[in-house]
């Protein structure tokens, strides 16, 4: 039997409509629109598309937003100055510096300069630390946060389940593992964090998953034989592969061999239209939360 396809696009649209209503209520109460500023350095085409989409979504949610663009020649100290000014600006609630940055700029230094309460990407060590501790106010990175909301809306309770995450990046793998392992409703999972160190044993690990999360950046790396019958499969991968039938000459595909795995799994996210749209919805949710926290304090 073919797996249920989890419609991330529909869930994200629902979440975005709710955020729009909440932002309108926030404005009615305070006279303030949540404001996000995007920092874009250089002309990386993918980064430009991401920032444009996030700006458009912010607009639709009724937020105030601005994209500050800089040439690749900007120095690290100039960029730090921009961040310091925005940190001090009470009207700006959220600050997102699009990665990657040019090689002469130290990304860690930039991410650590963003005030934790405005760091809606959740990359500042303060946010990472609080997420790991599982207490206090913090922002979880948008893709893992989106997966959590997706599971909740799909009524997939991870509690007591064995979740295998493949990929240990700071953006996806590690934070989703930490979120799912928290002693909290809809989390409370038994989590295995796999990576290239698994070597030939990777299949042994993935086959023991009730919920398998692939965040590897390798097209179609997860094949049907790696998935236990009835497992839930979340595909985070967003890989561009050549496709002569497309005008652009390429198409987007996931880390999972979707056509084969959907015949084994009980539920699966597609690419595109799965985790991707949830990530943008969480940029909005975190921005609204940032505004609410800053106006309250």
- The residue assigned the tokens 């809306």 is 153
- CB 256, CB 222: distance < 8 Å: yes
Using CB under 6 A as the binding rule, whether residue 169 contacts ligand NAP is answered as yes
Window of 13-21, 100-108, 180-188, 217-225 that interacts with ligand NAP by CB under 6 A: 217-225
d(CA 253, CA 185): 32
Q: Which residues are catalytic?
A: 54, 98, 121
Minimum CB separation from ligand NAP for residue 71, in Å? 25
**Residue whose C-alpha is closest to residue 255's, from 283, 228, 294, 216:** 216
Minimum CB separation from ligand NAP for residue 47, in Å? 12
Minimum CB separation from ligand NAP for residue 92, in Å? 24
Residues 128-157 that bind ligand NAP (CB under 6 A): 143
**Residue whose C-alpha is closest to residue 92's, from 27, 33, 31:** 33
Using CB under 6 A as the binding rule, whether residue 49 contacts ligand NAP is answered as no
User: Phi and psi for 45 in degrees, rounded to 5?
Assistant: -60, -40
Rule CB under 6 A: choose which of 110, 113, 147, 166 binds ligand NAP. 166
DSSP state of 25: H
Would you state the structure tokens that stand for residue 70, as one six-digit string?
């800089």
Q: Are strands 250-253 and 239-242 parallel, antiparallel or unpaired?
A: antiparallel
Minimum CB separation from ligand NAP for residue 61, in Å? 18
Using CB under 6 A as the binding rule, whether residue 279 contacts ligand NAP is answered as yes
**Contacts to ligand NAP by CB under 6 A:** 143, 166-169, 171-173, 194-198, 202, 215-218, 221, 236-239, 275-276, 279
């Amino acid at each position: 039997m073919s797996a249920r396809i989890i419609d991330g696009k529909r869930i994200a649209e629902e979440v975005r409509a709710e955020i729009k209503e909440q932002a309108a209520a926030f404005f009615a109460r305070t006279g303030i629109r949540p404001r996000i500023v995007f920092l874009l350095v250089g002309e990386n085409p993918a980064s430009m598309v991401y920032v444009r989409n996030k700006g458009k979504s912010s607009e639709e949610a009724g937020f105030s937003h601005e994209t500050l663009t800089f040439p690749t020649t900007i120095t690290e100290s100039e960029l730090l100055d921009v961040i310091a000014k925005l940190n001090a600006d009470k009207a700006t609630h959220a600050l997102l510096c699009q990665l990657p940055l040019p090689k002469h700029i130290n990304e860690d230094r930039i991410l650590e300069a963003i005030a934790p309460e405005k760091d809606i990407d959740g990359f500042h060590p303060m946010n990472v630390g609080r997420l790991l501790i599982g207490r206090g106010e913090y922002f979880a990175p948008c893709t893992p946060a989106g997966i959590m909301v997706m599971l909740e809306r799909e009524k997939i309770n991870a509690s007591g389940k064995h979740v295998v995450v493949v990929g240990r990046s700071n953006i996806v793998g590690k934070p989703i593992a930490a979120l799912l392992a928290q002693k909290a409703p809809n989390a409370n999972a038994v989590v295995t964090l796999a990576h290239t160190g698994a070597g030939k044993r990777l299949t042994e690990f993935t086959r023991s998953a009730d919920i398998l999360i692939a965040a590897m950046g390798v097209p179609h790396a997860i094949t049907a034989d790696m998935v236990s019958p009835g497992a839930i499969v979340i595909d985070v991968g967003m890989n561009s592969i050549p496709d002569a039938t497309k005008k652009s000459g390429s198409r987007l595909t996931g880390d999972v061999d979707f056509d084969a795995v959907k015949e084994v799994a009980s539920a699966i996210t597609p690419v595109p239209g799965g985790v991707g749209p949830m990530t943008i919805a969480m940029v909005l949710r975190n921005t609204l939360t940032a505004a609410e926290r800053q106006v309250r304090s």
